[in-house]
Amino acid sequence: MRIRTIVTTLFVTLMLVVSADYVAFAATGKSLLLGKTNSANKVTTVKRTTPGPAMKFQVKKPNTAPFATNGKKRVKNLNADRVDGRHGSALAGRSKVSVIDPPECRSLDVVIGEPVKIADLGTFTGKGTKFVDVEFTSFFRVAAGAATGVVFELRIDDASSSLGDVAILLREKAQYVNAVISGVFRGVGSGPHTVSLWTSAANGSASFVGYDSGCFIGYWTSRVTVKQFD
């Protein structure tokens, strides 16, 4: 009897250990529950043993994201067929930088009030991008006059930017002022376009208003840079 009791006790103890181990396994290895929050203390791997995708996500509406994550790190080897609805072939070459050599030493004898064109600085070929960033670096000068300030403005095809004036205000007189005029234009279409420099005087007139006075462009003092991008 004593031997039987000992054997029975060992058997019951063994079953409890096995049962406890089985319950723990079921808690971390159970099937995924649809529509519920699933959690595990190890990575979940889906492996297909035949050719083809290992998992497929379908949504009711095509414009709905197929899955979501709170992680911000890049996923290794995760490739995307589209970016902002565009294939890679459509994204290629959608940015371009052009450098234009403007004509040297241009100025106007007298500037009064309304904007007038000093010169066409050069042309570029539009790629139909959403935005064009234009930058003009040079020495600007106002020789004299009663005006309290002179504005130098960049335009494309003689039109100002719809995103705000692309301009600088010069108050100094009889000085060479090295400055950069830069800004962004929207909706410049495909084909040739012309960048031009315009000027206007505030509260009076100004004389000999222009850029590159002394004709130093050959020494890389003036450049127009055009950056096209989406």
Q: Are 199 and 118 in contact (CB under 8 A)?
A: yes
Percent of the chain with pLDDT over 70: 78
pLDDT in tens, 66-82: 878 887 777 777 766 66
What per-residue confidence (pLDDT) applies to 31?
A: 78
- Three-point CA angle 57, 63, 67, nearest 5°: 35
- Those residues with Cβ within 8 angstroms of residue 111's Cβ, 6 or more apart along the chain or in another chain: 145, 147, 150, 199, 200, 201, 205, 206, 207, 209
What per-residue confidence (pLDDT) applies to 15?
A: 45
Query: How many Å apart are CA 37 and CA 211, to the nearest integer?
Result: 68
pTM for this entry:
0.61
Q: Are 95 and 230 in contact (CB under 8 A)?
A: yes
Mode of pairing for the β-strands spanning 149-156 and 191-202: antiparallel
Provide the residue ranges of all domains of the chain, joining segments of one domain with +. Answer: 96-229
Cα-Cα end-to-end distance for the chain: 89
Query: How many Å apart are CA 47 and CA 39, to the nearest integer?
Result: 19
Write out the two tokens for 20. Answer: 């406890």
Any alpha helices (H) in 64-216, and if so which ranges?
A: 88-91
Residue with tokens 């335009």: 155
pLDDT in tens, 123-160: 999 999 999 999 999 999 999 999 999 999 999 999 99
- Tell me if the domain spanning 96-229 has CATH number 3.40.1160.10: no
Residue 229, pLDDT above cutoff 80: yes
Q: Are 67 and 175 in contact (CB under 8 A)?
A: no
Q: Which has the closest alpha carbon to 202: 165, 170, 174?
A: 170
